[in-house]
A = this chain, B = another copy of it.
Amino acid sequence: MIIVMTKDATQEQIQGIVKWIEERECRAHLSQGEERTIVGIIGNNRPLEQEPIERLDGVERVVPILAPYKLASRDMQPAPTHIRIGDITVGDRQIMVIAGPCAVESREQIIEIAHAVKEAGAVGLRGGAFKPRTSPYSFQGMGLAGLELLAEARQETGLPVVTEVMAVDQVSLVAQYADVLQIGARNMQNFNLLCAVGKINRPVLLKRGLMNTMEELLMSAEYVLSCGNPNVILCERGIRTFETYTRNTFDVNAIPALKARTHLPIMADPSHATGHWEYVEPTALAAAAAGADGLMIEVHSHPEKAVSDGTQSLKPERFAELMKRLRAVAEAVDRTL
Q: Cα distance A192–B132 when bound, in Å?
A: 8
CB distance from A143 to the nearest CB of B (A): 12
Chain B residue at smallest Cβ distance from A194: B136
Q: Cβ of A306 < 8 Å from any Cβ of B? A: yes
Which listed residue, B33, B250, B329, touches A253 by the CB 8 Å rule? B250
Given contacts A210-B211, A211-B240, contact A279 B304 (CB under 8 A): no
Closest-by-CB residue of B relative to A248 is B253
- Best-surrounded residue of A7, A63, A186 (most CB of chain B within 10 A): A186
Interface positions, chain A 233-276, Cβ under 8 Å from B, are 238-246, 249-257, 260-261, 273-274, 276
A68 close to B (CB within 8 Å): yes
Given the complex of chains A and B, what is the CA–CA distance between A120 and B238 in angstroms? 34
A261 CB → nearest B CB, Å: 8
State whether B243 touches A214 (Cβ < 8 A): yes
Whether A40 pairs with B33 at a CB distance below 8 angstroms is: yes
Q: Do A253 and B246 have beta carbons less than 8 Å apart?
A: yes
User: Does any Cβ of B come within 8 Å of A2's Cβ?
Assistant: yes
Partner of A7, one of B75, B252, B282: B75
> Are B328 and A136 in contact (CB-based, < 8 A)?
no
Note all chain B residues with C-beta closer than 8 A to A328.
331-333
A311 within 8 A of B: yes
**In the complex, what residue of chain B is closest to A44 when comparing beta carbons?**
B34
Across-interface contacts of A168 in B (CB, < 8 A): 167-169
> Does the CB pair B42–A32 fall under 8 Å?
yes
Determine the distance from Cα of A149 to Cα of B290 in the docked complex, in whole angstroms: 35
Residue numbers in B under 8 Å from A54 (CB-CB) = 310-311
Given known contacts A290-B283, A333-B328, A211 and B242 CB-to-CB distance under 8 angstroms: yes
Q: Is A285 an interface residue (CB 8 A)?
A: yes
Interface: A151 (CB within 8 A): no
Which of B33, B186, B333 sits near A190, CB closer than 8 Å? Answer: B186
Residues of chain B with a CB closer than 8 A to A132's CB: 189, 191
Across-interface contacts of A43 in B (CB, < 8 A): 34
- The complex places the Cα of A328 from the Cα of B330 at a distance, in Å, of 10
- Taking the complex as formed, is A286 at the interface, i.e. its CB lies under 8 A from any CB of chain B? yes
Residues of B within 8 A of A166 (CB): 191-192
Nearest-CB distance from A54 to chain B (Å)?
Answer: 5
A223 within 8 A of B: yes
Is A308 located at the chain interface by the 8 A CB criterion? yes
Given A34-B42, A55-B306, A329-B329, 20 other A-B residues pairs in contact with their CB atoms under 8 A = A36-B65, A38-B40, A50-B308, A52-B304, A55-B304, A68-B137, A132-B191, A135-B219, A136-B226, A136-B227, A167-B192, A190-B190, A211-B212, A211-B240, A238-B253, A250-B252, A256-B278, A257-B279, A285-B332, A286-B287
Listed by A's residue number, 16 A-B pairs whose Cβ atoms lie within 8 Å are: A34-B42, A38-B40, A46-B137, A47-B137, A51-B305, A52-B309, A135-B219, A167-B167, A168-B168, A168-B169, A187-B190, A238-B253, A243-B254, A260-B278, A285-B289, A328-B331
